[in-house]
Structure formats: C-alpha cells, structure tokens
Structure 1
Amino acid sequence: MSEEVIGSAPRFSVIVPVYKVQGYLRECLDSVLSQDFADFEVIAVDDRSPDGCGAILDEYAARDTRVTAVHRAENGGIGQARNTGVERARGDYLLFLDSDDTFAPGAFRAMADRLAQTSDPEILLFDHVRTYWWDKVQPSASGELLAQTGTETFRPADHLESLNLFAVVWNRAFRRDFFTGNGFAFTDGVYEDALMVYTTMLTAETAGCLDQVCVEYRQRRQGNSMKTPGRTHFTIFEQYRRLFAFLDTRPDLDRVRPLMFERMVSHFLFTFARENRVTPADRPEFFHRAAAMYRYLEPAGFVVPAGLDGAKYQALRRGSYPAFQALKLVNGARVSGRDRLRKARRTLGKQAFQRFYQLQLRRPVDENLAVYSAYWNRTPACNPLAVYEKAKELAPHVHGVWVIRKGAEDTVPAGVDFVVANSPRYWEVMARAKYLINNVNFAGDIVKRPEQVHLQTHHGTPLKRMGIDQQKYPAAAKGMSMRKLLERADRWDLSLTSNQHSAEQWERVYPCAFRSLDAGYPRNDVYYRATAEDVLAIRDRLGIAPGRTAVLYAPTVRDYQAGYVPRMDLERVTRELGEDVVLLVRTHYFYGADPRLAELQERGALIDVSTYPVVEDLCLAADALITDYSSIMFDYANLDRPILTYADDWDVYVRSRGVTFDLLSGEPGETPGVIATNEDELIDAFRSGRWDGAEATALRAAFRARFCQWDDGHAAERVVRALFLGQGPTPAALPLAERTVAPSPRAAVAAVPGAVSVPTAEVSAADVELAG
C-alpha cells in the first residue's frame, strides 16, 4: 500500500450509491481503485438492488480493504443511499460518484494537488465530460469558467457565475467537516442534486476550482431514472420549495433570489419539455403547478429573459396551457400507435405482404401462440428448442411455431409446426403471437406490439466483445449498423442469462430496457439429464470406435480472416496423439464444408462433425474439448471434463475482436484448464497427462463455478414457468455440489453392463459413482 494511505483518516471518501447498474458497476469501481493517488476509501451502498450489484460489491470489498460494501435493508432512493455513505465516511473530503459513471485517470491526484494549492476550501469544483454509447465524448461548458479561477478561492455567494455550473454533486468535492457540520443531508426523491448544490454553495465561505476533467458522465441510452417518465418528476417542486425555504432563513442572500428563481423556472421548463420525464397525461398538471410556483416565488422586479426564453416565462406566468402549447414549446412530439405503424409499413418488403402484415397487426394478439427461431431461421436448435420442448410439457396450451428459412424445410423434425420466413403465414404469426423467442434478433421489419413478450435467449457466454463494444473493433463491426442493432434489441423484454458475467455484459453492451432472466441456459439441461446409455449411443452414431479417447476440437470464427483457415496441422496432431485418440473436428457454422477435412476423414485421421446438427451430442460424446475463444467452453464446463485452450493467435484476436476477460491469465475463474499456444505445447499436454492433471482440474472447477452458475438441468423449466406461466424463475438453481452431471464416456462404460472397456486409462471409483 502507498505511503499516502498511512494515517487514521483518508484524504477522500468516495460514496457510490448502487441500484440496478450491474452492467456498469465494475467499470465504475475500477476507475476508482486504479487511481494513482491511493489515499481514499470507497463506501459503496447497495440500495437493495434486485440484480447482482450486491454480490459485485462484496467481491470488491473482499479483495480490496479500501472498499466497504453497505447493504441497506430497504430501498430508499439515491438520496438515502448517499446519506448512508456519509454516515460511514472518514475522509477529509466527500466525493459522490454515480455508479454508472467513472473517474478519469489521474483525477484524485489532480484534486489532491489543487486542494493543497488552495488551502483546503470547503468545496472544490472540477470539470467533466459526457460520454455516449456511440463513443462520442462531449466537453462540458464549464471549462473556461473553471480555468479562470486558477488557484484562487472565492465565496460562491459573491461570485454568482459559479452557481451556473452544472448543478450535480458529483462534479465537486465537499470538505467533510463543512458538510456534516452544517447538517447537510440529501432529501428523498429525484432532483435532490439541485437542492444540495445550491444550499451548499450558498453556505460555503471558500470554494476552489480545478479545470481538469475528473468525471466521465455516462449518457445511458436506457435505464437512467431521470429519463424514466412518471410522477416521480413532480418531486422537483418540493425540492425547489425547500431551496426557497432555505433562502427565507438567509435574508443576507436576497440578492441571490432572482438567479435562483431563474434557475428554478429554467429547470421546470427543461423537465416539462421532455416526454421521457413528464408523460402527456401529466403535462397539464405539471404546467399548472409550475405556473403556481412561478407566481408565488417570483421576486419583485424580476426581469424575464429576452427572446424565446422570455416568451416561455411569460406564458408560464400567465398559467395558460393553451397559450403555451401554441408556442410549440413542448419538445418531442407524441408518436401515436398509428404513426409507429406507418413508419413500420415503410420498412416492409413487397407490397402484397405490406398490406397483409398491416391487416394482421390490427388483429388481436393470440395469447396462446409462441414463435420460435434460432440462428437466423436455420433450424430448430439451441436454447429456443429446449424451451419449446419443455413448454410442450409444462404449458401445452401454448402452441409453438418455428420460423425456418426457405430451403431448410427438410431440417425440421416431424411433428414440429413451422412457417417459412416471408410467407403469408409467417407475417400472420409474427403479428399475432403473444411470445417471441429467439437466440438472435428477428428481422428488422418486424413490429413488436406492446402486448407481445420477447425473450432473447442468446447463444453463448461472451468472451468476445459484443453489442456496442464492437464499435472499437472494425473487423468485428464491419457492415453493422449499431443503431439498427439497438432498435432490434429494444424489442427484448427478457434477456436470458446463465451466469452473472453474462448478465452484466448484456446490460452494458445492449443499453435497452429489457429485464435479465437469470435462469440458466436450457440447451445445457441435457448435460445433467443424459444417461450412460445416451452417451454411449451418441458415440456409436458418430462412429467413435470403442476404447478410443474422443477429443472435440471446436474453434471459433475469426473476424479478421475470410473463410475457414485451419489453426493447426490436423494431420500432424492426430498422428502425434496416437491411435488411442480420435479428433472430432467442428468448424464454426459460418463456414461451409471444407474439402481438406473431408479428405482427412476419408483417410481415417479424424471425424468431421461440422454439419452434425446437435452440438450438445458432440460434447456428451467427447472425453475432452480443445477450443480457442468459442463460447462452447462455457457450455462444456458443465460436464466437468478437461478443457484445453489452443490460442495460437491470442494477441491478434484481442486486437481485432476484443475480450471481456483474460482467458490466458492462468487465474482461477478465467482459465478453464491447460493453455497451449502452439502445436508442440498441445501435443505435450496430452503426452504428459497435464490435460487431465490436478492443476487443470482445479482451474476447471473455478471456471465451472463462475460460468455454470445457474445451469443445473432445470433451466428450461425456469424459463417456461417465468415466461408462459407467470410463476417466476422456479425452482431455484441447485448448488454446484448438489448437481448430478452426465457421466463421462469412461464412467458410462463402467455403468453399462457389456460395454467395451477403455484401455487408455483406468476407470476411477469417482467415475463409477458418477455414472450411477
């Protein structure tokens, strides 16, 4: 620990109120803990957040003594959470950071230096930038004003221009004895920042400025409470009543009242003009309450601004809502359902289908109809298929229909109802189905009706960067419209996750209004339900000779390469591994058939399983997995069998696609087993036995605990109960130690009478017990 932290009280207490920000919280905390000035404490207050925030805080607190995690028994709002943090604070200065924002590198060092130069003023103001999801960074309007002050201090009430700075508490540091000594506390409800800023600034005798950007203020596309319409925004009136009640106790500040009045009215008009704050139904009441406060609090001799702003003030003073509307002062015209439908019509394909689809959209939604699709309408598969099968058992009243691309009709199993994409019935079921289930996005021209419920199941845990993160990686985002991607993600109501890592990533990279469904991946249920007979039958179908160790090799796609390019000399590897090992090779589904693989298979060197329809079967048949960065590793980890990471191009992959964690770190929870960066290392891993040794086993256990968090064989049931039956995601996930996984091939041989034994390795007692 740095010498700077020696002493009974830290220089800074960073107070972070936390509620429903699991996709951003790690970045927020990391921005604090990575500061090069280390004399601080973090008091993170979990305001009874319903997601994984509390667990994240506990994780950080466990590994860094500077972090204190406080869990409130009841949700009290951001103001109460901040008050809780102040009560625990020991630092000389209080810093308030919202949990979806970040501190800029070097911020604390710059603050500490400026505080020393200004003899510890009661308030230190500093600069910020706004950051947007499309990577735009917008400077604040405060830079010039902050720079003019230099290292001088001032009394804010004597320098009224300082009161025009953005009225939030996170762009300033408060000396703790000043803050607590004057009894400042945050009030309930939104708009609490404005009240706190103005009362503290008008009370302070000394303030200083720092013109360095210290906070990166995230402009969230969705999820910001200030951009959620509703009655909560009426709290603004009470906050400004409190401000003027404060001014009533300070006759020495009468000269400030006109400015505070102007700030109040501007804030009312700003809030009123936004439909994402005040709903159309609430507008008349909001307007009249704002007008009443205007007339009640207007200072004698107040001069309204010139121009359009002045016209707004005059209309508000008169209290005439029709006159205000006539000025066209309400921003964001209401978009009726008819307008949305008209926009959707323009995006549809052929004229005949346009008219037909428009007709279907006017018909009632069928409460007992569900539409399924997987992998861009390829064939029934993955999580949607597992949900479909379980729904037939638990919710038979819901009829399921699959969307299939033209030409793939013969891949649909007998008895499964389906429609061909863009056929008349396709438009009908897409318009009328209550439930929409997909592991990718439905086509962009589909209109998501308010009555419909869209479940996005995804099709893997993200090691690689996804969603808006791909903007930084041109090879990955080539030809992709982020705007259209997010418009499609806006249709999601539920986002299915199998672990906390995925839940955090999806919320951050798809900044939309969906709710996370933490139920596990239904497609992985089979890993807990397959029997020894099932495992042996699959191996027989694949042509795996009895007694051979089957190794599944499943590399992922490379965005920086065109077509399938083998990452290893498959002929050499199979030869070096010996006759007892058979390699099952599965190329990514983006690639077509590869003639070289066909040739090697014909020669008996390997088995090409690239077109085998059920990847779960391949995993059950394999004694071990070799992969690189494919999400198959997370699913295979459920089986608790060896995983080898073959990463010959890690640096290139990281630069071209980006990753969410360091797969090659060798740290528990990040690396699933043996790492090989070339063929020699891979071959040696098998020859030496390291592929299934104690170290690899320990790494696999930690990896499984982190990424198989909610997979226990009951994921499909939880999804069906939550989606179709309204029962919530029940039953609760079993603890890892209580789950029974499908037997390994060795254990399956031991469990099935008459099965051919495995000569390459002895069957352990644990294998026999597992198979039973």
Structure 2
Amino acid sequence: MPSPENLPRSDSPLLSIIVPVYGVEGYVRQCLESILDPSAADLEVIAVDDRSPDNCGAILDEMAAADPRLRVRHLDRNTGLGQARNTGLDMAAGEYVWFFDSDDHATEGAVRAVLDRLAKTRPDVLLVDHERELWDGTRVPNSGGRHFREPPAPPVFTCAERPDVLRIMMAAWNKVIRREYLLGLGLRFSPGYYEDLNVTFPLLMAAGRLSLLDRVCYVYRQRRSGGITRSASRRHFDAFDQYERIFAFMDAHPGTEPFRGLMFDRVIGHALMILEREDRISRPDRREFFGRITAFSRRRRPSGHGVPGGRLKAVKYRLIDRGAYAPYRLAVTLTKVRRRAGALPRTAVRFARRGGRTGRRLAGRLYYRVQLRMPIDENLVVYAAYWYRGVACNPAAIYEKAAEMAPHLRGVWVVKPGARGPVPDGVDTVAPGTLRYLRVLARAKYLVNNVTFPNAVIKRPGQVHVMTQHGTPLKKMGLDQMDFPVGAKGLDFKAQIARADRWDFLLSSNPLSSEAWHRGFPCRYEMLEIGYPRNDRLAAATPDERARLRARLGVPEGKKAVLYAPTHREYRNGYRPMFDVDRFARELGDEYVLLLRPHYYYPAADDGQDDDRVMDVSGHPSVEDLCIASDALLTDYSSIMFDYAVLEDRPIAVLANDWETYRLTRGVNLDITAAPPGVLARTEDELIEAFRTGAPWSDTAAKARDAFRARFCPWDDGRAAERAVERIFLSGR
C-alpha cells in the first residue's frame, strides 16, 4: 500500500472532505487518520480551525506536514460550524464534497468505498449509512438503516421515485455532494444551531440523481459532554429559522410540492424531540418553544394534511393546533410515568439488598450523611496520593506551595497505616475509614488527589474536586482502554466515569496528555494545562541538591548511577526486570551502579542484596529524589521519561524489547519507538552495547532528548504548582 508521501495532492481531486475543527483535541487525530486512507490519491482533506481554544491547531499542522493531501486553514475568529463549513467549501477543488464533524470518524475502507461509488454512478448526492458510537464504546446501528435497502434501490434515482430518503438522518455528514450542484442551488450553511437543515433537505428534493451506499461509512460519536445541540440553550430556537428556510426553498421550487406533507411531519417531529429532551430547552422557555411550534404549524401545515398515525402523536398534533401547552405537558408527563412504573420492582430489590448490610457500615454511612449536611469548611483541603499510600506526587507539590501562597488553608492528608515512606513532620494526617476521615471528606472545600477517591464519596454542592493525575499517558487510559481487554481487565468504566464526573479541575502535563484526557475522561472539568507541579523540583534541581541526595542514598562516589524504572505490564504476573540485571552490571563494570525502582504496584524489587553495582531503591518514598540523584534513566514505556526529560543534561535510554506485545495488550497514545527521548534498544544485547559505548551521552541521543523535551515538557518551567494554587485556591472560583 502506498504511503502518504507518495500521494501528492491533486489539483482536481474527485473528493474534498471538509472538516471544521473546534474544541476536539481528543478526537480530531482519529477523525483525520480515518479519512486519510493511504490508498486514496484522488482526495483532498480541508481542515478549518475555527479558532479552537485547545491544541487542535497544532495537531492539524503536525498532520498536514506529514500528508500533502491535508490542507489547514486557521481562522482569525470563531465563526461557528456553519460558516466554517462554508469556508471549507470555498477552498474545495474536488468534484464532490463531504462534510465531516471533527469528533466523528470514518469506518475502515469507507473513503475508498465512497470514491468507488462516486466514480461509478456520478450522482448529485450520495447518501451513506452510519452508526452511533456511545461514550462506553457501544456501537448502535442507524435506526433508519432500512431506508438504504427496503425496497432495493436502483444505482441512481430521484427523490420523487424514492421519497423515503427524506426520512434518513437529517445531517450533512451522511451526504456526499457534487460541488457544482451545491453551488448552483445557491445553498449555504446557516449560522446558529441546526445549521445543516436548510442545506440537506433541499439537496435531496431538487436532485436529478441520488444514490444510496448501503454500507456503514460514518461513525457518529455521541459524546457525554461538549455536544452543543445536547445542552440547554435558547439557541435551540434557531431551529425555527432553519425550518422556514426549507419551506422557503420549496416555495421557490414548484417541483418540491409532493414533499411538503412529509417535510412538515419531519419538522414537527424534530421540534417535539427538542422540546421533550429535558436537557435542551430550559423549563422557563418551554411554553414559548411550544408556542413557536404552534405558530409554525398554523403557517406551514399543508392544506388537507392529515394527522399521522399513532394515538399519542395524534393527540400531540391536535394540542399543537390549539396551542394548548398545559394539556400537552400533562400528556407527556403521563407517558413518562407509565414508562417509569416498570422500574419500581427493580428499585425495591435494590433497597432490600441495602438493608442487609452490617450495622457498622450503616452507622458510618449515617455519620457521613449527617456530615454532608453540615457547613463546608472553606479553608479545609483534603489531599491524597496513590490510593492513600503516602505524601507524594503532584498533590504534595501543591500542598507545599499552598502553605506558602495560601497560608489560610489547612491541609489534611489521607494516609493509610503502613504507608510507603515517613510522613513529613508537621503534616496532619487521617486514616481512611475513621470518623474523622468521613468528616473531612464531607466538609472540606477542596479535595485533591492524583488517582481517585472511592466511589462512595459524594461531591456536595460547593465542593471542588481536583484530579492531578500522576503521569503523562503514553499508554491508553480511561475509556480508551475499552479496546484493549488485557489492559482493561477488571475495570468498571461506568464507575470510572462517574468518579471523573466529580472533577472540577484536571491537570495536564503536555498537549499529548490533554488529548488523551479529553478522550479517556469525557466529562465537564476545566483542563489546567500548566505542567506537573511535582516536576518543579526537577526544573529547579541544583548540583548541591544532587550531591546531598546521592550521599543520603549511598550512591558510591564517582560512579554513574542509572535509574531503572520500568512500567507495569498487565500481561505479566508480578514484577520481573525485562533484562538480566546481573549481566548488565557485570558487563558494564565498576563504572556504573544500577538503581532498581519497579512500578509502585510492587512492594520491592526482590533482586537480591544491594552491592556496589546494583541498589534496590524501591522503598524510597520520592521518585523525584531518585531522578535528581541519578546520572541517566533507563526505562521502557513508563511515564517517568516525560518527567526525567525536564532534567536537561540527563540521558534517557529506552528498552523496547516487548513493544509490539505491550502496544497490542495495553494500547498506546504514542509510538515511542518512532521518536524516543534518547537511545532506543530492542534487545538486551543492544542495551548493554549502548551503555558500553556511551551512546546515551552521544550528540545524537542529546538531540533526540532535546526534541522530546521541546514536544512534551513545554509547561514544566518550575512554576506549575504556583499556577495550580493560583487557579484552584485563589482565583475566587
């Protein structure tokens, strides 16, 4: 299969795919990768950056540099989806145009199948089938998919011959349109919500040649948050202007008369759907919206048009005609009550099960519930890290900076008995499960964690939850793990997302993290792109601090200390180094000492006694200490490499001897083998040879490290904790 470099952009491609881009940094890469089929030479892709506030613009430029078929236009101001599509249309050179939403994606082979069908049938409009992708990864077939097959369609036809095409999903993205036909009709996408209605329906009604591709080509992603038309706003009233434009088009095109009744029913059905979705029209605006439906119905209902089938639908039509909002609301409410009645037995079972729990747990829950009703302590902050394992990581850095910048705040750390490492003097701690633990969780203004608080924790109004995370996600995280069952074994994704719904702030260490967090945790938090507070120490490290730490650790003077910090592997049981540690130490000789630091999931390295060549530092509480004290890092796919790169003068070596297995079982967001932060070894022999020859300290490795640091450490300037405290605690949120 040819590579994109060998597919130069044609000046007159068969197909131009237009992708307006705004606020979708977690999805736009997948969208474009699905479109840029390496085998499709007769293609151009136009991405319109609609002044996106995130990293979309940089992602587009990166991808355009790698594929000449992708053109990028950066707009000076946000214009909205409709105008961004128009901008792309004006730039397009293709015989056909296909409008894609940038958080959706094509199925495998879809672009090739569309190009083939266009070449064979040359229609005015080609309609393609789609499926919905829910937030949990479930794929739902198009409920109107039968219109592609029943009855079997000829290669080309008109709307009059097959009017049911008007019942297919009213969207721009499931229609591939001959560009000159679209321009000849004078149709443009409108401003506001539902901007494609006044384009898509007229296109079908006026077309001389329609074609159906009975193949799922498009995946419509239904995001948990961020979809503008699935949020409460008066902008949903824009729909009525779009409806009027459709009927104005029919007024100007007499041949569309046969479609008026069907279009009227489609409009009324769509308007009622908007009204009856509780999350779209605010309660104070619902009577007015209903009134607009009535006004439209009285103005545009075709003469002699009957009431559609179905008892409830007939009732709604009559109430619309009368403008009877109160009876309409009563009819809708009664329908919902009947549907919910079936859930009562299940609810009773759940209550019965709860009644069988132990008295002690019930007493604790009762105490917690009581505390939730007590006033919030505006100056109390609860900190936690690594499932209560100690005082560490980003929360610890924020805690220390808050003591300096916001001394009015009191911090309490949740630390379980037997935590790794001593708790610093003066740090107030509470043990999980105690009454005080329940009290501070219920009454603290702020809760700061680098993993998650238990499912039972309730976020009350007025509380602020901060998720700092604890590493750059080279590996897949959150919902992205659903496609990798080995790595996702035992995970409860619904619970995971419910916990993420509590977050008010999510810290990001770099643009790669922002992309991954948006995809993996699609919730309504504010992303703080500030770098990692724990890395402030690395950015400010001095030779004196390094010398003190080496002495404290007992690193032999004059030796090069190589920190070996591998990641966890779900496909393996327990910790085992990925190479022969004894051989490594033996062959490199007395010049080196290897510091063994397994993933924090494991209690100790268990690699024998420490000696002058190998030291077990798995029990040391601070990985930042180890980074500063070492001379080089040896890792595999651990996020520690992104932190270590902040130390500008320290080499990094990556051992990737199981890369394909790890990539297929855990899933990755970055191919570290394509752009490593220094030396890359595929085998144990290559690793030993690299250190024997001093390759990690070579100019080539240094250039790779510099490029890696520029890409993945842009915000690690030593002030991340300061920015976190300022935004979270002092901004008056």
TM-score by length of 2: 0.92
The reply to whether residue 49 of structure 1 matches residue 52 of structure 2 is: yes
Range with greater deviation from structure 2 (300-309 or 507-516):
300-309
Q: Which SS does the other structure have where 1:212 is aligned?
A: strand
1:688 Cα offset (Å): 1.1
1:70 CA displacement: 1.2
- 1:354 maps onto 2:365 in alignment: yes
- Inter-partner Cα distance in structure 2 for 1:82 and 1:35: 24
User: Given residue 495 of structure 2, which amino acid in structure 1 is its aligned partner?
Assistant: K
Q: Structure 2 vs 1, CA of residues 186 and 455 (structure 1 numbering), >3 Å: closer, same or farther? A: same
Instruction: Give the Cα–Cα distance (whole angstroms) in 2 for the partners of residues 256 and 472 of structure 1.
Output: 44
Aligned to 2:687: 682
Q: How far apart are the structure 1 equivalents of 2:335 and 2:552?
A: 65
Is contact 2:16-2:92 (8 Å) kept?
yes
> Partners in 1 of 2:577 and 2:535 — Cα distance?
28
Residue 329 of structure 2 corresponds to which residue in structure 1? 325
C-alpha deviation, 1:409, in angstroms = 10
Work out the number of aligned pairs and report it.
713
Q: Which residue of 2 is the match for residue 470 of structure 1?
A: 481
Partner of 1:376: 387
Work out the CA distance in 1 between the residues paired with 2:489 and 2:152. Answer: 47
User: Aligned pair 1:630/2:634, yes or no?
Assistant: no
Three-state SS of the structure 2 residue aligned to 1:215 is strand
- Give the secondary-structure state (helix, strand or coil) at the position aligned to 1:233: helix
85-94 vs 360-369, which deviates more? Answer: 360-369
Distance 1:409 1:16 in 2: 50
* Corresponding residue number in structure 2 for 1:130: 132
Shift of 1:672: 1.3
313, 319, 339: which one aligns with 1:315: 319
Distance 1:7 1:631, change over 3 A: closer
Contact 2:9/2:44 (<8 A) preserved: no
Structure-1 residue corresponding to 2:343 = none
Deviation at 1:175, TM superposition (A): 0.9
Q: Please, which moves more after superposition, 200-209 or 256-265?
A: 200-209
**Which deviates further from its counterpart, 179-188 or 566-575?**
566-575
Aligned-pair CA distance for 1:5: 6.3
In 2: Cα distance, 1:161 partner to 1:261 partner = 14
**Structure 1 stretch displaced more, 8-17 or 105-114:** 105-114
1:23 aligns with 2:32: no
* Counterpart among 532, 547, 563 of residue 521 in structure 1: 532
Q: Which residue of 2 aligns with 1:614?
A: 622
Measure the CA separation in 1 of the matches of 2:643 and 2:521.
Answer: 22
Cα contact 2:8–2:68 (8 A) shared by 1:
no
For each residue in 1:707-742, what CA deviation from the matched residue of structure 2 results, as whole angstroms up to 9, or x when unmatched? 1121111111111111112289xxxxxxxxxxxxxx
Give the residue type in structure 2 aligned to 1:480.
L
How far the C-alpha of 1:700 sits from its partner, in A, is 1.1
Aligned-residue offset at 1:417: 2.0
**1:116 to 1:551, Cα distance in 2 relative to 1, 3 A:** closer
Pick one of 83, 100, 105 that aligns with 1:102: 105
* Change in CA separation of 1:586 and 1:65 when aligned onto 2, cut-off 3 Å: same
Q: Spell out the pairing of 1:112-191 with structure 2 (5 A cutoff).
A: 112-118=115-121, 120-147=122-149, 148=151, 150-191=153-194
- 1:8/1:250 Cα in 2 relative to 1: closer, same or farther (>3 Å)? same
* Contact 1:132–1:220 under 8 Å retained in 2: yes
Confirm or deny that 1:532 pairs with 2:543: yes
Aligned to 1:657, which of 642, 666, 669?
A: 666
1:434 match: secondary structure: strand
Pick one of 458, 464, 467 that aligns with 1:456: 467
Residues 457 and 496, structure 1, Cα contact 8 Å, conserved in 2: yes
Work out whether residues 571 and 600 of structure 1, in 8 Å CA contact, stay in contact via their aligned partners in 2.
Answer: no
Identify the residue that residue 344 of structure 2 maps to in structure 1. Answer: none
Q: 1:408 to 1:398 in 2, by over 3 A?
A: same
**Superimposed CA distance per residue, residues 427-485 of structure 1 (whole angstroms, 9 cap, x where no aligned partner):** 22222222221111111011112322222110001111111122222232222111101
Of residues 225-234 and 626-635 in structure 1, the stretch that sits farther from structure 2 once superposed is 225-234
- Say if 2:8 and 2:69, in contact at 8 Å, map to a contact too: no
Flag the 1:281–1:411 CA change in 2: closer, same or farther, 3 A.
farther
Q: Is the 8 A contact 2:374 2:443 kept in 1?
A: yes
Task: Give, as a single letter, the amino acid of the residue that structure 2 aligns with 1:643.
Answer: I
- Whether the 8 Å contact between 1:370 and 1:436 is mirrored in structure 2 is yes
Where does residue 304 of structure 2 map in the other structure? Answer: 301
State the partner residue of 2:496: 485
Separation of aligned partners in 1, 2:656 and 2:10: 47
Flag the 1:499–1:7 CA change in 2: closer, same or farther, 3 A.
closer
Q: Distance in 2 between matches of 1:27 and 1:7?
A: 23
Aligned to 1:739: none
The residue type equivalent to 2:458 in the other structure is V
Query: Are the structure 2 counterparts of residues 78 and 472 from structure 1 closer, same or farther at C-alpha, using a change threshold of 3 Å?
Result: same
In structure 2, how many angstroms separate the alpha carbons of the residues matched to 1:4 and 1:675? 30
Structure 1 partner of 2:375: 364
Query: Is the Cα contact below 8 Å between 1:271 and 1:278 reproduced in 2?
Result: yes
Find the aligned partners of 2:252 and 2:657 in 1 and give their Cα distance.
Answer: 71
Correspondence 1:8-87 to 2 at 5 A: 8-87=11-90
What is aligned with 1:762? none
The alignment status of 1:693 with 2:698, answered yes or no, reads yes
For residue 196 of structure 2, give the secondary structure of its aligned residue in structure 1.
helix
Give SS of 1:221's match: coil
Match of 1:723 in 2: 728
With over 3 angstroms needed to count, the CA separation of the structure-2 counterparts of 1:346 and 1:714, relative to structure 1, is farther
Post-superposition offset of 1:407: 4.5
Give, in whole Å, the separation in 1 of the partners of 2:377 and 2:318.
51
Corresponding residue for residue 443 of structure 1:
454
Aligned equivalents of 2:119, 2:659: Cα separation in 1: 46
Change (3 A) 1:297 1:366: farther
User: 2:131, 2:141 within 8 Å by CA — same for their partners in 1?
Assistant: yes
One-letter identity of the residue aligned with 1:64: D
Say which SS state the counterpart of residue 477 (structure 1) adopts. coil
Could you tell me how far apart the structure 2 residues matched to 1:70 and 1:331 are?
49
Q: Secondary structure at the match of 2:593?
A: strand
What residue is the counterpart of 1:219 in the other structure?
222
Cα contact 1:272–1:330 (8 A) shared by 2: no
Alignment check: 8 A CA contact 1:115 1:124 kept: yes
Alpha-carbon distance between aligned partners in 2 of 1:380 and 1:314, rounded to the nearest angstrom: 66
Q: Distance in 2 between matches of 1:331 and 1:7?
A: 56
Deviation at 1:255, TM superposition (A): 2.7
Whether the aligned pair in 1 keeps the contact of 2:380 and 2:409 (CA below 8 Å) is yes
Deviates more, 1:145-154 or 1:160-169: 145-154
8 Å CA contact 1:149–1:208 kept in 2: the answer is: no
Greater displacement, 523-532 / 306-315: 306-315
SS state at 1:474 partner: coil
Deviation at 1:7, TM superposition (A): 5.4
Unaligned runs of 5+ in 2: 341-346
Please state whether the residue corresponding to 1:65 is helix, strand or coil: coil
Q: Are the structure 2 counterparts of residues 134 and 6 from structure 1 closer, same or farther at C-alpha, using a change threshold of 3 Å?
A: closer
Alpha-carbon offset, residue 278 of structure 1? 2.0
Q: Distance in 1 between matches of 2:654 and 2:279?
A: 47
Matched position secondary structure for 1:388: helix
Distance in 2, Cα, partners of 1:416 & 1:198: 66
**2 CA distance for matches of 1:46 and 1:488?**
32
Identity rate, percent: 48
Give the Cα–Cα distance (whole angstroms) in 2 for the partners of residues 312 and 704 of structure 1.
62
